[in-house]
Structure 1
Amino acid sequence: MDQLQQRREDLLLLREKASKYALYGVYIASVSVIIATLLVSYFMVDAITLDGIILAQTSNIALWTVDAMPFLFAAWGQYASHRMAHEADNLVQSKTQSLREALTKADFTSKAKSDFFAKMSHELRTPINSIIGMSDLVLETNLTREQRRHVDIIKSSASGLLTLINDLLDFSKIEAGKLELEDIEFDLRDCVEKSVTLLAQQAHAKGLVLTNLIQSDVPGRLRGDPGRLRQIIINLLGNAIKFTHSGEVVLSVKKLHDDSADRVRLHVEVADTGIGISAKEQARLFQPYNQGGAATTRRYGGTGLGLTISKELAEAMSGQIGVKSQEGRGSVFWFTAEFRKPAAAVIVPAPARVDLKGLRVLVADGNIPARIALVDQLKALGMEVQSIGNGAAALQMIRAAAGSAFRFDLVLVDMFLPNLSGEELGREVMSHPDTRDTVLVILTSAGVRGDAQRLNQIGFAGYFGKPIPPENLHEALRAVMATRGMDEQERQRAGLVTKYTLSGMRRNPARLLLVEDSEVNREILLKMLSKLGYSADIAENGRAAVQAATHEDYGLILMDLHLPDISGTEAIEAIRTLTSARGKTPIVVLTAGASDEETARCRTLAVTDFLTKPVDSNVLADALKRYQITPTSATADAPLPESLAAASPGTKKPVPDAKLVEIFISEATQRLESLRDALAFDDARRAAREAHTLKSSSTYFQAGDMRDAAAQLEEMADKGNLDQAQPVLKKLEEAYARLRDSLIKK
């Protein structure tokens, strides 16, 4: 269309020039006639006079002919130029109309093709997601080993088919020039680690070592499209694992240095020790449907679209993709991508403490298996659930319940509902004052880039792909329900709750770090934390604690003082020297008896609190609430199980936990051996540490004689008086032997 318009403008310009040149011809002809007449007059009467000029004109017919010819040619030229321009204009109009009709037809065909792919992707993904969702539910039941293997195969096959459909849909978007990217803030490390975790089992099954290395200068949070970044990484990692039979696969991420103040360029590599690629195959590796030859395709399967899509995605993110490989010696696939830096360092708040029990929920989904699976999961969380299969009926139910005691607190709607789409349903609900405060979440099996921004403006609180993994459902619902009561402008600024914002919430400063060298104490504290709804990272010594606190944001650090390399107080001192906000992280000391000197030193280092070992679960829960550490697990309010009764002091008849007993016996045996060596070499510091740990771990089993003997040895070691330690060591060994025998019998 643009070329025809340009051609038309050129022809009009040509017509103007032709008219101009014809006019010039008239001027020249007129001058020629005047000069000719004057010359004839001069030769006829020997002078240029008016009478001579009249005589020349009246007596010389040939001169008249000469005079008329220029004017005739000029007139013909003018007519010809106008005729030519008119015909050209008609031609351009005809071609323009033909092209317009062709473009209209092409747009219709392209739209029809896009609509077809969108519809088919939904129709195909919906039953596949149902298979995956129902497989998850079946896997949570009691199955035989053979049944579990069969269900795993079903789920794996469905996931593979879903990947194939996603590839074909992406490729169709690329061909149509409709590839779009999101622009949201995300946690880069979480994105990379989730990608690696997704394929870890696949690598482990082949005996491969799968590792990821992220350089320390790579920013933690960026703005861009995490889904597309993750898609490229998973594609490259999946290929590396597929074509590697032994050795390792390493994912590395580094920042490319540039002078941009608001953008970051990343360089990502996936190196493997696989079969490698010949130079000939490398030349056409990123072409559609190419997979390194027919033999490779037959042996390893796949569509050959993954690398083509990855190339387009990398280029869409202002980057490139390439490969370095030698046949038989492995490959290194790399790509670069550009992301924006966040406007400011934003800490995504964890969802408020929301009780999901008793909430009234409506599930609107036209796919029956998917609806049943979701309803069962919601009921398991204690919700009152109703379900419906079409949008118009769902809207009637929401309006009928509005204003009554049976109104819906939460509505989960499928994007492609029959009769009334999920988006249209949301607009209707948000447009009515009686239903406007309903929390809306949209579920889709065929999400499109740009959906999130539009749905956020409509008033939806959450946007998730189908099916929501059962392990994430509780967290997702707590997060969306936390938006209830928020000002609408504030909610829109915060944005939709998605899987990426959930990742950010998991990495917020509500994370815990447990620093404890005793495996028994770690196991007990982790179980306590788990039953209170928390999870924690582990550091087994002081140096590991300092390193973890340097690179991660923690809401609270639980720190043992007696550690094997550097003491707890030394670790706290190192953390307090950090210049960032991480240096001010609240620290709670765990101790079975700190000295006055240790206590005073901890106070000067701004230690927040002291918890005495053995730690009571209620005391621990109160401490975590005081420091506003929000639980993130569905078990947040669950009571401690009977198996942990042995870990709670004051119980008359503890019920030992089998795993805990096993860990205790193994650790206590090793620490007693280490204590003997320390006493033999007069190593008071080591002896004090081992005795301290034995004292605290034995307390959980209410072994008073063992605890007393260990405490006595610790006191002797602290004072440097080990001369009389052997008799006390013998008492400790005898007490341990009695405890071990009683635990084994139970």
Structure 2
Amino acid sequence: MAYDLAQNLAASAFVVLAYTFVVRRPEGWGNLKRQGVFGLFMGLTAVFSMMHPIHIGPGIFIDARTPLVGLTALFGGPLAAVVTAALAAAYRFSLGGAGMAAGMANPALSLAAGVGFSWWVTRGGRALRLRYLFGLGLLLAGCSLSSLLLLPNWALTVEVFDRTALPFLTMLPLGTLFLGALLLREQRHRDAELRMAESEARYRLLADNVTDMILVIRAGGEIAYVSPSVREILGHEPAEIVGRHAAALLHPDDQRPAAEAFSGLESGSPTVSVIHRIRHRDGRFLWAESSMRPARDASGAFTVVAAVRDVTERKLYEEQLHEARAAAEAGNRVKSEFLASMSHEIRTPLNGVIGFADLLLGTELTAEQRQYVALQREAGRGLLAIIGDILDYSKIEAGKLELEERGFDLHRLMRDARDLMSNAASQKGLALELALGASVPRFVRGDESRIRQILLNLLGNAVKFTERGSVLLSVGVLSADEATGVAPLRFSVSDTGTGIAPSEQSNLFQRFSQGDSSTTRRYGGTGLGLIISKQLSELMGGRIGFHSSPGIGSTFWFELPLPAAVEGKTDGKAEGRPAAAPGRRTARILLAEDVPMNQIVTSSILCKAGHMVEVAEDGEAAVEAVRTGQFDLILMDMQMPRMDGVQATTAIRGMEGGRRAVPIVALTANALPDQLQRCLDAGMNDHVTKPIERDTLLATVDRWLGMAPQVQATLLAGAQPADAHPPVPTRPDKDVVLDPATLAALADTLGEEALPRFVAGTLSELHQRIGRVLDPASPKDAGFDAHAMVSLAGNLGLVELSRLARKLQHACEQGRTDAAAALKEEVQAALARASYALGEALPGGVIPAV
């Protein structure tokens, strides 16, 4: 029995070897061929086991054909099992005898059991386990015992069953478990090798075809592997790189940071990316980005896997982007300078337009004259508002707008906004109402001037687009924010206008956009009011929106988080500004201004308010006047010859005694924040922006003199008849020497008697400046005098001379000497023509200046 068992164990080893041979055969074999060959091996093994069975008693023996057929179906497939069963049955048929039928039925039943069991495992997605193999052995033992029913007689069946049942039920399951475990172990080993081979093939496919260069670097820095993409990136063959030190490929300046990043890697470290330069085979350097990740090789040694990507084009784009950004920033600086220049150039003549209109309204005028002058003043103020919108939008777009948060009286601000728009509302017959919520705090912290700007924008639009009915300005408190604890305030402006059509609502809060294309033609404006309001509210941490129903009206609202302030802690004016005190006294004021037109306008406003004014034509004269005289306030122009306003202020602040503490207010046409900040940095206390508004100037003077501001109301006399139309000014041709309309307006302002003397003085100054322009100390001085000639000639309506002087100013400032030389001659000739034209235009000629 031991000999027979050893023979069957040897047969089992042969089965495993056969299975190993078949499953590891190269891919040249198909599935059917594999099953056929494996079935042949298993069938021959079954025949061998039948030839050398295990004898368990006289005439009783057990062979391995039953487990061999069943396991062949499980591990080899149904075709292999059929081949194995057929060989076993054929051999038993050749033996003959009384038990031939039962012997042939045994492999057939084992075949059915094996195929069915294999289907059960596969269909259920079950992983093959040892207990399943033992169960298969019990099933096969039952098949063998069932085949005994085919013996010739019942007595023989009972006798054989009685002697073989127990051996079958013990040895067949154990034999099936033993042989199946060997085959299962070989199958799992084969599957693991297949998975590893597939994984290696997959990773090899990625490494060989990925555009990035894959490196495996040992702990010492030597390159253990490089992907074939090194040919496309560096021009090297992989064999030329393997074994070299990774640092040898880097640019000398990049070796140290790359080495530091490499040395900082350890097991478990996150991926580290380094941008560096790497040497190409032809000697040039490429920009590359290396992503390094720590790993372990097959032996467990520490390695680093690096993916290297060529980013040369990206670096080029970054450099181009940097250059473009630098160019854009330079463009922004140029734009800021242009805006400052534009502000100065436009605001300076507007100072005359609005200032002279204010002066004329203070004289005796007919109803018609008063109406025309008032319209002129409002047109100037409208132009000033447009300029302000453009400058504000440019500052917001460039990110240069700075908010000034301080405490202020919110109730007073709301009343002021209503009062400022009440005149415009009353002229249209509209009721302008104010509603303050009961829980709205009186004192809050925020940027008062910007909130006022939003309110006036919304109120102005409501009054403009409402023909009848009313406008309501209101403010209320919303629920407190859980994060900040601050209850936002909701400001609303509601009107009973025509409303906004749904198709046009999307155009709101867009730059240079109004409800429809006809709005600008009918009402005017830049279309910037709402977008500026939106950006201002968002800068202050709030939001803005609207509701509108066509034919019913609109409500525009904005919400701001304005924390409450302590009463008495408000400082709505700039810090350090004195509080107003009641009463008005006569003050001695020094006006430092070099342009005669501005001298006349500003002095007239101050003198009519009861002040005494001394004029200094430049900064040096202003400093000398302060040194030798006593003044209560100084109004300092920023741009003057010899010494500008900043230099003069610095000199005054450097004096000893009480003179250094005299309040200085800047008069500047440059309304940009950086220009205004220069005034404060130089030691000035405040500023008034040109063109000068009479009320603004007097309020600022009174504030710094410690006086209560005087509230003035100017009522327009009479109403414009329906058929009356204001005269439309004509724009003179650029080649016209003298514009008679400008000269006539100047005569109305100064009076017929004073006009010739004023013209003579201006001509005298023009001749002096052209003399300095023809023989300047420097191109800068020539440009300065040419700049003065622009406004001097413009005051008299000398169109040609003003135009040429401006061209000469630009040529001098830009250093175009050839063009400047030619323009000097043209300016000199234009001045001669201008003098002749003035002499012809004035009755009695020009009175020589004294």
One-letter identity of the residue aligned with 2:671:
G
Q: Are 1:252 and 2:474 matched, yes or no?
A: yes
3-state SS of the aligned residue for 1:75?
Answer: coil
1:351 to 552, 576, 580: 580
Q: CA deviation at 1:193?
A: 1.9
Contact kept, 8 Å, 1:257 with 1:265, in 2: the verdict is yes
Structure-2 residue corresponding to 1:204: 426
Structure-2 residue corresponding to 1:332: 555
Aligned residues with identical type, % of pairs: 36
Contact kept, 8 Å, 1:129 with 1:445, in 2: the verdict is no
Structure-1 residue corresponding to 2:538: 315
Residues 387-430 of structure 1 deviation map (CA, whole Å, 9 limit, x = unaligned): 234xxx32x223323453x2333210134556654344323321
Q: Using the alignment, how far apart are the partners of 2:686 and 2:240 within structure 1? A: 81
Contact kept, 8 Å, 1:22 with 1:74, in 2: the verdict is no
Structure-1 residue corresponding to 2:493: 270
Contact kept, 8 Å, 1:423 with 1:455, in 2: the verdict is yes
3-state SS of the aligned residue for 2:375?
Answer: helix
Q: Are 1:75 and 2:244 matched, yes or no?
A: yes
Contact kept, 8 Å, 2:471 with 2:496, in 1: the verdict is yes
Q: Are 1:385 and 2:584 matched, yes or no?
A: no
Contact kept, 8 Å, 2:500 with 2:549, in 1: the verdict is yes
Change in Cα spacing, 1:233 to 1:379, as seen in structure 2 (3 Å) is: same
3-state SS of the aligned residue for 1:74?
Answer: coil
Contact kept, 8 Å, 1:182 with 1:449, in 2: the verdict is no
Q: Are 1:436 and 2:695 matched, yes or no?
A: no
Q: Using the alignment, how far apart are the partners of 2:404 and 2:675 within structure 1? A: 9
Contact kept, 8 Å, 1:276 with 1:325, in 2: the verdict is yes
Structure-2 residue corresponding to 1:459: 683
Q: How many residues in Structure 1 have an aligned counterpart in Structure 2?
A: 431
Alignment map for 1:195-594 (pairs within 5 Å): 195-258=417-480, 265-342=488-565, 345-346=568-569, 350-352=579-581, 356-357=585-586, 359-389=587-617, 393-394=618-619, 396-404=620-628, 406-417=629-640, 420-433=643-656, 435-449=659-673, 455-456=679-680, 458-466=682-690, 469-470=693-694, 476-482=700-706
One-letter identity of the residue aligned with 2:623:
R
Q: Are 1:121 and 2:343 matched, yes or no?
A: yes
Change in Cα spacing, 1:234 to 1:263, as seen in structure 2 (3 Å) is: same
Change in Cα spacing, 1:370 to 1:222, as seen in structure 2 (3 Å) is: farther
2:286 to 87, 92, 99: 87
Q: Flag structure 1 segments of 5+ consecutive residues without an equivalent.
A: 1-13, 30-68, 483-501, 507-532, 536-746
Q: Using the alignment, how far apart are the partners of 1:366 and 1:340 within structure 2? A: 46
Residues 719-742 of structure 1 deviation map (CA, whole Å, 9 limit, x = unaligned): xxxxxxxxxxxxxxxxxxxxxxxx
Residues 534-585 of structure 1 deviation map (CA, whole Å, 9 limit, x = unaligned): 99xxxxxxxxxxxxxxxxxxxxxxxxxxxxxxxxxxxxxxxxxxxxxxxxxx
One-letter identity of the residue aligned with 2:598:
A
Q: Give the TM-score normalised by the residue count of structure 1.
A: 0.52
One-letter identity of the residue aligned with 2:244:
A
One-letter identity of the residue aligned with 2:666:
I
Q: CA deviation at 1:78?
A: 7.4
One-letter identity of the residue aligned with 1:88:
W
Compare CA radii of gyration and give the structure with the larger one.
Answer: 2
Structure-1 residue corresponding to 2:731: none
Contact kept, 8 Å, 1:320 with 1:337, in 2: the verdict is yes
Q: Using the alignment, how far apart are the partners of 1:191 and 1:411 within structure 2? A: 29
3-state SS of the aligned residue for 2:509?
Answer: coil
3-state SS of the aligned residue for 2:287?
Answer: helix
One-letter identity of the residue aligned with 1:238:
G
Q: CA deviation at 1:273?
A: 0.7
Q: Using the alignment, how far apart are the partners of 2:627 and 2:245 within structure 1? A: 86
Q: Using the alignment, how far apart are the partners of 2:240 and 2:519 within structure 1? A: 81
Q: CA deviation at 1:374?
A: 1.7
Q: Using the alignment, how far apart are the partners of 1:475 and 1:117 within structure 2? A: 27
1:106 to 324, 328, 332: 328
Change in Cα spacing, 1:198 to 1:98, as seen in structure 2 (3 Å) is: same
Structure-2 residue corresponding to 1:191: 413
Q: Give the TM-score normalised by the residue count of structure 2.
A: 0.46
Structure-2 residue corresponding to 1:20: 217
Q: CA deviation at 1:245?
A: 1.1
Q: CA deviation at 1:136?
A: 1.2
Contact kept, 8 Å, 1:214 with 1:254, in 2: the verdict is yes
Q: Using the alignment, how far apart are the partners of 1:430 and 1:136 within structure 2? A: 34
Change in Cα spacing, 1:133 to 1:257, as seen in structure 2 (3 Å) is: farther
Contact kept, 8 Å, 2:496 with 2:552, in 1: the verdict is yes
Residues 63-121 of structure 1 deviation map (CA, whole Å, 9 limit, x = unaligned): xxxxxx97963339876674269411676765555444333322211100111012102
Contact kept, 8 Å, 1:122 with 1:446, in 2: the verdict is yes
Contact kept, 8 Å, 2:547 with 2:556, in 1: the verdict is yes
Change in Cα spacing, 1:261 to 1:315, as seen in structure 2 (3 Å) is: closer
Q: CA deviation at 1:373?
A: 1.9
Q: RMSD of aligned C-alpha atoms?
A: 3.7
Q: Using the alignment, how far apart are the partners of 1:296 and 1:159 within structure 2? A: 20
One-letter identity of the residue aligned with 2:443:
R
Change in Cα spacing, 1:226 to 1:26, as seen in structure 2 (3 Å) is: closer
Contact kept, 8 Å, 1:276 with 1:330, in 2: the verdict is yes
Contact kept, 8 Å, 2:217 with 2:224, in 1: the verdict is no
3-state SS of the aligned residue for 2:561?
Answer: strand
Change in Cα spacing, 1:114 to 1:262, as seen in structure 2 (3 Å) is: farther
Q: Flag structure 2 segments of 5+ consecutive residues without an equivalent.
A: 1-210, 227-237, 251-277, 289-311, 572-577, 713-850
Q: Using the alignment, how far apart are the partners of 2:445 and 2:556 within structure 1? A: 24
3-state SS of the aligned residue for 1:87?
Answer: strand
Q: CA deviation at 1:177?
A: 2.4
Change in Cα spacing, 1:125 to 1:470, as seen in structure 2 (3 Å) is: closer
Contact kept, 8 Å, 1:25 with 1:70, in 2: the verdict is no
Q: Using the alignment, how far apart are the partners of 2:565 and 2:594 within structure 1? A: 39
Contact kept, 8 Å, 1:18 with 1:78, in 2: the verdict is no
Q: CA deviation at 1:129?
A: 2.8
Structure-2 residue corresponding to 1:137: 359
One-letter identity of the residue aligned with 2:548:
S
Q: Using the alignment, how far apart are the partners of 2:219 and 2:242 within structure 1? A: 8
Change in Cα spacing, 1:135 to 1:183, as seen in structure 2 (3 Å) is: same
Q: Using the alignment, how far apart are the partners of 2:682 and 2:241 within structure 1? A: 73
Change in Cα spacing, 1:418 to 1:188, as seen in structure 2 (3 Å) is: farther
Q: CA deviation at 1:149?
A: 0.5
One-letter identity of the residue aligned with 1:167:
D
Q: Using the alignment, how far apart are the partners of 1:286 and 1:534 within structure 2? A: 35
Q: CA deviation at 1:137?
A: 1.2
Change in Cα spacing, 1:314 to 1:28, as seen in structure 2 (3 Å) is: closer
Change in Cα spacing, 1:419 to 1:70, as seen in structure 2 (3 Å) is: same
Contact kept, 8 Å, 2:351 with 2:692, in 1: the verdict is no
Q: CA deviation at 1:459?
A: 3.5
Q: CA deviation at 1:196?
A: 1.8
3-state SS of the aligned residue for 2:286?
Answer: helix
Change in Cα spacing, 1:283 to 1:399, as seen in structure 2 (3 Å) is: closer
Residues 608-636 of structure 1 deviation map (CA, whole Å, 9 limit, x = unaligned): xxxxxxxxxxxxxxxxxxxxxxxxxxxxx
